[in-house]
Amino acid sequence: MKIKTSSHDLLIVEDNPWKWGAVLIMLVIGLLAGSFYFFRVGGLDIVGGVIFLICALSMMLILGFVARRFQGVFNATDGWVELRSKSILGYRAVRHSLDEIDRAIVQTTKAVSDDGTKYVHRVALVISEGQSKGEHPIYELHREGPEAETVAAQINRWLDRARSRT
């Protein structure tokens, strides 16, 4: 997650997991190549081709869920915030009035790994009133590292500046 654009009128926060996408695409290509090899050989190796093909299709489905680009677009001129997500499965955007947004916070959860318990984070926007009341994550995945704190602080500074101009 990083700040892609920051100006007086526009702030764009983006999380683009291109590394995951690249790894999964290479895995899918390898599995498809293996399945074509098994189909070409024929005989009992066709079973291997079917297994590789099923694995490739499964990886393509996982790719649709994991390799998803998230954006939070804050527009002070028009007075809105839009949370966007895009993947091979489609595009989704939810727009809120800039006045509805109270602040950005960091949501933290525990993640258990081989080397112990770790804490992972993500940035969410807080809306305290109205139909959209609640915490709205800018991106779905939690990540390790200090980026969420930094991004939340930058969003809050930008919101304060935008409110002081109106």
- Whether the per-residue pLDDT at 149 is higher than 80: the answer is yes
User: Percent of the chain, pLDDT > 70?
Assistant: 99
d(CA 108, CA 74): 23
Q: Please indicate whether residue 140 or residue 98 has the higher confidence score (pLDDT).
A: 98
pLDDT given for residue 44 in this prediction: 72
d(CA 124, CA 135): 6
Q: How confident is the model at residue 144 (pLDDT cuts 50, 70, 90)?
A: confident
How confident is the model over 54-71, as pLDDT tens digits? 999 998 888 777 778 899
Average pLDDT estimate for 3-7:
89
Average pLDDT estimate for 114-119:
80
Residue in the structure block whose two tokens are 């393509």? 60
Q: Where on the phi/psi map is residue 134: left (φ > 0), alpha (ψ -120 to 50), or beta? A: left
Q: Kindly tell me the sign of the dihedral angle through the C-alpha atoms of 69, 112, 144, 75.
A: positive
Q: How confident is the model at residue 124 (pLDDT cuts 50, 70, 90)?
A: very high
How confident is the model over 34-52, as pLDDT tens digits? 898 888 887 777 888 899 9
How confident is the model over 62-102, as pLDDT tens digits? 877 777 889 999 999 999 999 999 887 789 999 999 999 99
- Whether the per-residue pLDDT at 166 is higher than 80: the answer is no
- Whether the per-residue pLDDT at 17 is higher than 80: the answer is no
Query: What single string gives the DSSP state of each residue in 70-130?
Result: EEEEEETTTTEEEEEEEETTEEEEEEEEGGGEEEEEEEEEEEEETTEEEEEEEEEEEE-SS
Mean pLDDT (the chain, rounded): 88
